[in-house]
Amino acid sequence: MKKIILYLLVIGFAVNVNAQELLCNIRVNSSQVQTSDRKVFQTMQTAIYEFVNNKKWTTTNVQNEERIECTIMINISKQISNDEFEGSIQIQSTRPIFGTSYKSTLFNYLDNNFRFKYVEYQSLEFSDATHMSNLTSVLAFYVNIILGLDYATFSEEGGNEYFNIAQRIVSNAQNAPEPGWKAFESDKNRYWLAEDLMDSRYSDFHMCMYRYHRSGLDKLAEEPDDARYEITESIESLKSIYRNNPSAFILKVFFDAKSDEIINIYSEAFPNEKARIVKTLAEIDPANSSDYQAITQSSEGGR
């Protein structure tokens, strides 16, 4: 009996440490599609769930509690044919903050250029060496963005391995007929997301991601003053990117995920901190400058 119990414990431990990397909520919304058979969309949702959550995306062994929590929402606006669909895909991922129950948003992005084919009950296949289908290429692209951004918060440039894979997926899709992969189609699409993340001119983004989270948010509960200083310094480092290219896509990606959080972080800051960060944010994120005024209007800290 003891041997059986020990065997089960060993098996349980092995399963635990070899859990897949993502804990991803998948939703397929087909309410805009006129059809009498909605079973295909449920089958599609299940297939995508299994593809994202059951595939091993890295060589790292993770425990269940270390899985990255994320959400992928696919909104289908049109059924072009029996097996071809068009719509949007929205992706959000979060990261737990040390010593708290808070989860910080790392990625919050809506991609409106999503066209793909899906044959019911056909397995979803992917290879990072070739473009096999637009559905799996898009999913794998965003999975690697999620992984890269998460890893980037735990070590400097820790996400580059996954950003490289994302860029390879883009390269493989250059002859694909579906939109979203090519530089000339838009200045804010999958091509430019991968390009910006690997552009050496934007290396301060990676430093910011690490310092903002590891030296800032992870210490905010215990050392709020020092942590806010680190967060301020990390955000100010993004000035180099803005001054080099005010329309850099990577800045929009960062602030789409972080603007609300930043406002909350500084709500209890000291007046001089508030003035400094609001001035910086007004320069590098002018689209949200009016929202940042809430920082100076909130109750002040004790300095």
Q: Do 163 and 46 sit in the same domain of this protein?
A: yes
In a domain, 257, yes or no: yes
Q: Do 192 and 215 sit in the same domain of this protein?
A: no
In a domain, 12, yes or no: no
Average pLDDT score over residue span 67-95: 97
In a domain, 190, yes or no: yes
The percentage of the chain sitting over the pLDDT mark of 90, rounded to a whole number, equals 87
Q: Do 177 and 115 sit in the same domain of this protein?
A: yes
pLDDT band for 35, please (50, 70, 90 cuts). Answer: confident
Q: Do 77 and 151 sit in the same domain of this protein?
A: yes
| Per-residue pLDDT tens digits for 251-287 | 999 999 999 999 999 998 999 999 999 999 999 999 9
Q: Do 161 and 237 sit in the same domain of this protein?
A: no
* pLDDT value at 86 more than 60: yes
Q: Do 242 and 287 sit in the same domain of this protein?
A: yes
Domain, as residue range, for 66: 18-198
| Per-residue pLDDT tens digits for 163-183 | 999 999 999 999 999 999 999
Domain count along the chain: 2
Q: How far apart are the first and last CA of the chain?
A: 65
* pLDDT value at 7 more than 60: no
Model confidence, pTM: 0.92
Which of these three, 198, 229, 248, is where a domain ends?
198
| Per-residue pLDDT tens digits for 208-255 | 999 999 999 999 999 999 999 999 999 999 999 999 999 999 999 999
In a domain, 302, yes or no: yes
Q: Do 160 and 232 sit in the same domain of this protein?
A: no
Cβ neighbour number for residue 277 with a 10 Å cutoff:
23
Which of these three, 143, 167, 198, is where a domain ends?
198
The phi and psi torsions of 142 (rounded to 5 degrees) equal -75, -30
In a domain, 4, yes or no: no
The phi and psi torsions of 75 (rounded to 5 degrees) equal -110, 110
The whole-angstrom separation of Cα 75 and Cα 89 is 6
Q: Do 187 and 38 sit in the same domain of this protein?
A: yes
Q: Do 94 and 189 sit in the same domain of this protein?
A: yes
pLDDT band for 106, please (50, 70, 90 cuts). Answer: very high
Q: Do 147 and 295 sit in the same domain of this protein?
A: no
Q: Do 89 and 191 sit in the same domain of this protein?
A: yes
